[in-house]
């Protein structure tokens, strides 16, 4: 009897085990997006060594498809390289991809992810974004700072004029892009950051930036207090820092707008509103010099519109409505988006995208550079032809997924109006006063 029970129990265990194996075999496996071949430990990182990542990823997408997955170290990286896949990430599944990976640079330089760019999605980010949209990035506020942009462009024009008629002028702004090794091995980020020296470098940057920003805040607070004491309150909110100090004193935003968060916002505005516009202007000037007919047409319209003026202001620009200037800027942004790879997002949960499974905690980027040069959407995609935008159906407001210089969805760059205002004025200044 005991032997019979023993055999029955053994058969039951074997039957259950067999059923589990059959169930597992019949269960549909996750179909991950295709991607290039991988090596142990480093995964696909060797495909991105000593190359421009956006160009390398564009070439890989032509082989593996518009939605592909690489493994960089221990980090799965999903790359969207078509209008359709970009729409799926930025619109259809925007909620699932609306957060940011916690990159080391955002922690150290970005005041523990306190800025708009790197802050993970959540209550703080939503309130911060609402505050910036209403008080800092509104069209009225952008317009109020126009005298600062005019002063800066005038200084640049004076520098170029002082260089002489035939002297080469360097308009370059140094920017960097890439993938940092410590961020690609999350369990080992702290150790790798110390071994590679990345942590020390980031702290050096942070300390330098922090001291400069603190000095600016202290200086503006002193000037603001003097104006209030003297009763000169008409121009008390003269610049961005003044506005943030006033908001700090006002309060009532659902979070503490302390000095660290003010610094994080200023850093965002400086990086997003000046670095990107300077890069875009440099590329626009390069393309104009490579296409003299386009330059001649634009320069002729600018000089005709402002003939006889010693200085061109933003008010002059608005009154003139230089439509071709806007077409040239759009075409420059198509070929040379300020952020060729949109700032990385991270999937909150696993989801289905274009028939593939995207695991939770995957890093997701949209290759705006590849989409802007895809012959599927653009005739003569590699050519500089501003006239292609004449019909006006494609714009950079986030609704045209074949044209994403500023992104789209919840994480779309909120300050692109700042950059565009600076770029327009700077280009007009360079072309009105000088022949290149």
Residue 351: φ, ψ to 5°: -150, 165
Q: State the average pLDDT over residues 264-276.
A: 74
Q: State the average pLDDT over residues 262-287.
A: 81
* Residue 103 in domain: yes
The per-residue pLDDT for 187 is 64
Specify binding-site residues.
Answer: 413
* Residue 12 in domain: no
What is d(CA 23, CA 26) in angstroms, rounded to the nearest whole number? 5
- Is pLDDT above 70 for 11? no
Q: State the average pLDDT over residues 322-341.
A: 93
Q: State the average pLDDT over residues 263-291.
A: 82
Q: State the average pLDDT over residues 21-32.
A: 64
Specify binding-site residues for heme.
Answer: 413
pLDDT tier at 176, thresholds 50, 70, 90:
very low
- Is pLDDT above 60 for 25? no
> Quick one: which of 110, 410, 135, 115 has its CA closest to 252?
135
The per-residue pLDDT for 337 is 92
113 within 8 A of 125, measured Cβ to Cβ: no
57 within 8 A of 371, measured Cβ to Cβ: no
* Residue 7 in domain: no
Q: State the average pLDDT over residues 57-78.
A: 92
* Residue 11 in domain: no
- Is pLDDT above 90 for 13? no
**Helix axis angle, 198-230 relative to 259-270, nearest 10°?**
100
Contacts of 359 (CB under 8 A, 6+ apart): 30, 32, 76, 347, 350
* Residue 1 in domain: no
370 within 8 A of 54, measured Cβ to Cβ: yes
- Is pLDDT above 70 for 24? no
Instruction: Work out how many domains the chain is built from and give that number.
Output: 1
- Is pLDDT above 80 for 241? yes
Of all residues in the chain, what percent carry a pLDDT higher than 90?
Answer: 33
Average pLDDT for the chain: 83
* Residue 17 in domain: no
CATH number of the domain within which 187 lies: 1.10.630.10
* Residue 104 in domain: yes
The per-residue pLDDT for 1 is 45
247 within 8 A of 135, measured Cβ to Cβ: yes
What is d(CA 89, CA 97) in angstroms, rounded to the nearest whole number? 7
Q: For the segment 391-411, what is each residue's pLDDT rounded down to a tens digit? A: 888 888 888 999 999 889 888
What is d(CA 71, CA 51) in angstroms, rounded to the nearest whole number? 17
- Is pLDDT above 90 for 102? no
> Locate tokens 């003569």: which residue?
380
pLDDT tier at 23, thresholds 50, 70, 90:
low
pTM beyond 0.85: the answer is: no
Contacts of 268 (CB under 8 A, 6+ apart): 115, 116, 117, 415
Q: Which domain holds residue 196?
A: 29-433
* Residue 411 in domain: yes
pLDDT tier at 159, thresholds 50, 70, 90:
confident
7-11, 61-65, 270-274, 391-395 — most confident range: 61-65
């Amino acid at each position: 009897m005991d032997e019979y029970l023993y055999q029955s129990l053994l058969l039951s265990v074997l039957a259950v085990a067999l059923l589990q194996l059959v169930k597992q075999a019949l269960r549909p496996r996750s179909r991950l997006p295709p991607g290039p071949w991988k090596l142990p430990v480093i995964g696909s990182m060797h495909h991105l060594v000593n190359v421009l990542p956006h160009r390398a990823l564009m070439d890989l997408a032509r082989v593996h498809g518009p939605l592909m997955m690489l493994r960089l170290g221990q980090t799965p990286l999903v790359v969207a390289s078509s209008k359709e896949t970009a729409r799926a990430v930025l619109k259809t599944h925007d909620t699932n991809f609306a957060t940011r990976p916690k990159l080391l640079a955002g922690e150290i330089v970005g005041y523990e992810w306190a800025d708009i760019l790197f802050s993970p999605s959540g209550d703080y980010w939503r309130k911060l974004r609402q505050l910036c949209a209403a008080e800092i990035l509104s069209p009225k506020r952008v317009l109020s700072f126009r005298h600062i942009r005019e002063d800066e462009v005038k200084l640049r024009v004076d520098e170029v004029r002082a260089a002489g008629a035939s002297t080469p002028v360097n308009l370059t702004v140094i920017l960097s892009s890439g993938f940092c090794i410590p961020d690609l091995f999350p369990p080992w980020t702290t150790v790798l950051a110390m071994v590679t020296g990345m942590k020390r470098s980031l702290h050096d940057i942070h300390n330098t930036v922090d001291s400069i920003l603190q000095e600016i805040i202290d200086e503006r607070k002193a000037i603001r207090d003097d104006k209030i004491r003297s009763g000169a309150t008409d121009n008390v909110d003269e610049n961005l820092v003044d506005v943030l100090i006033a908001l700090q004193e006002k309060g009532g935003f659902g979070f503490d707008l302390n000095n660290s968060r003010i610094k994080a916002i200023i850093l965002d505005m400086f990086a997003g509103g000046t670095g990107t516009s300077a890069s875009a202007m440099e590329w626009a000037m390069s393309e104009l010099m490579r296409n003299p007919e386009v330059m001649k047409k634009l320069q002729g319209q600018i000089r005709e519109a402002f003939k006889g003026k010693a200085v061109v202001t933003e008010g002059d620009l608005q009154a003139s409505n230089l439509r071709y200037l806007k077409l040239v800027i759009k075409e420059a942004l198509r070929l040379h988006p300020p952020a060729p790879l949109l700032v990385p997002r991270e999937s909150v949960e696993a989801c289905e995208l274009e028939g593939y499974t995207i695991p939770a905690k995957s890093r997701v980027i949209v290759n705006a550079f590849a989409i802007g040069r895809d012959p599927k959407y653009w005739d003569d995609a590699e050519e500089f032809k501003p006239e292609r935008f004449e019909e006006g159906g494609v714009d950079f407001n986030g609704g045209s997924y074949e044209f994403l210089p500023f992104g789209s969805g919840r994480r779309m760059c909120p300050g692109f109006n700042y950059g565009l205002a600076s770029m327009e004025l700077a280009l007009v200044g360079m072309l009105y006063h000088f022949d290149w």
